[in-house]
Amino acid sequence: MAKARVHVTLKRGVLDPQGKAVQNALARLGFTGVDSVRQGKYLEIELAEREPEAARAAAAEMCRQLLANTVIEDFTIDVGD
Amino acid sequence: MKAAVIVFPGSNCDRDVAVALEQVTGSPATMVWHAETDLDGFDLIVVPGGFSYGDYLRCGAMAAHSPIMRALVARAEAGTLVLGICNGFQILAEAGLLPGALMRNADLHFICKDVTLRVETQASPFTRDYRPRQVIRLPIAHNEGNYFADGHVLERLIAEDRVAFRYCSATGDIDDAANPNGSMRNIAGILNERRNVLGLMPHPERMADAALGGTDGRAIFTGILAALT
């Protein structure tokens, strides 16, 4: 069994008003030096597939078809146990 | 005219649009549950507003893969008229029938209010009954109506006269002050290349009867009827 850890984030250049609101809230709490916050989604997917590259390919296809909207979002995949 | 209204778990404007359709066409619409797989014989398919699948993952993302959507895409590609309102627009975009995406409103608020829109083209079954550049008033009620598309997609939409409605001032000016949600170029509704699919965030079905406060949405339904008869 392999576990795919998928991060889905807005593409660079796409405005992220939620990230901006979080950044402003951090500033209000006194955290200085926060240059930018980008908010995204994190999914853990347990796969029957054991072979890492096959698991990664399967997760990538899931991202393209459903997990990410590639018009506005990028995704990254880490495969481990 | 035979109209179908798709019903997903979480749709909540399905009955409103069925009432508006019946008032205009004189015949009742068929409510089609999302688990169905057949849409043969319909002249118009409406994807209504609501919160399909609770907006899980992204608005419209789950609904776009419902069983009925395979039939809907096939019918759209065969030329059947398809109207997506609010969540229906989000679903059509997620399904790839319309370009771009509907993102979180720029101010992060759910916006529920009447807006003024300018009709940008008469060249579609949905907008033929409006006057050129007519300014109309329709309600919006959404959290994710912020239209986004890549630059080359936007340029193509404009070059091909596929922007159907834009948010405008009461006098018809397109400016930032009249943009409720951050949509690129104030876009509120767009057509597909073949002009048989319209997606829009405002709710014409909520302004199709004087008793509801206005009738500016009615021309969409009369236009569809006229185009089909």
Per-residue pLDDT tens digits for A16-28: 999 999 999 999 9
Average confidence (pLDDT) over B181-197:
98
Average confidence (pLDDT) over B165-179:
98
pLDDT digits (tens, 9 = 90+) for B213-225: 999 999 999 999 9
Alpha-carbon span B105 to B113, nearest angstrom: 14
* The pair of three-digit structure tokens given for residue A18, joined into one six-digit string: 């939620």
- Our answer to whether residue B36 is catalytic in this structure is no
- Our answer to whether residue B94 is catalytic in this structure is no
Contact A72 B148 (CB under 8 A): yes
Return the pLDDT at B109.
95
- Chain B residue with Cα closest to A40: B57
Flag whether pLDDT at A13 surpasses 90. no
Average confidence (pLDDT) over B3-18:
97
Could you say which of B86, B94, B120, B168 is catalytic? Answer: B86
Quote the pTM value: 0.95
What is the domain extent for residue A21?
2-80
Partners of A21 on chain B (C-beta within 8 Å) are 108
A18 touches chain B (CB under 8 A): yes
Would you kindly state where each structural domain of chain B is located, as residue ranges? 3-228
CATH assignment of the domain containing A58: 3.30.1280.10
Return the pLDDT at A81.
79
Question: Which H or E run contains A43?
Answer: strand A40-47
Question: Mean pLDDT score of chain B, rounded to an integer?
Answer: 97
Mutate to test the interface with A, among B90, B98, B148 (most CBs of A within 10 A): B148
Alpha-carbon span A61 to B170, nearest angstrom: 46
Q: Could you give the number of structural domains in chain A?
A: 1
Residue B154 binned pLDDT confidence (cut-offs 50, 70, 90): very high
DSSP line for chain B: --EEEEE-TTB-SHHHHHHHHHHHHSSPPEEEETT----TT-SEEEE--B-GGGG-SSTTTTGGGSHHHHHHHHHHHTT-EEEEETHHHHHHHHTTSSSSEEEPPTT---EEEEEEEEE----STTTTTSPTT-EEEEEEEES--EEE--HHHHHHHHHTT-EEEEE--TTS---GGG-SS--GGGEEEEE-TTS-EEEESS-GGGGSBGGGTB-TTHHHHHHHHHHH-
Q: Which CATH number fits domain B3-228: 3.20.20.70, 3.40.50.880, 3.40.640.10, 3.50.50.60?
A: 3.40.50.880
Return the pLDDT at A4.
97
Average confidence (pLDDT) over A42-69:
96
Flag whether pLDDT at A1 surpasses 90. no
pLDDT digits (tens, 9 = 90+) for B83-111: 999 999 999 999 999 999 999 999 999 99
Provide the shortest C-alpha distance from residue B48 to chain A (in Å).
21
Return the pLDDT at B191.
98
The residue among B115 and A1 whose pLDDT is bigger is B115
Facing residue for B61 by CB, picked from A15, A21, A66: A66
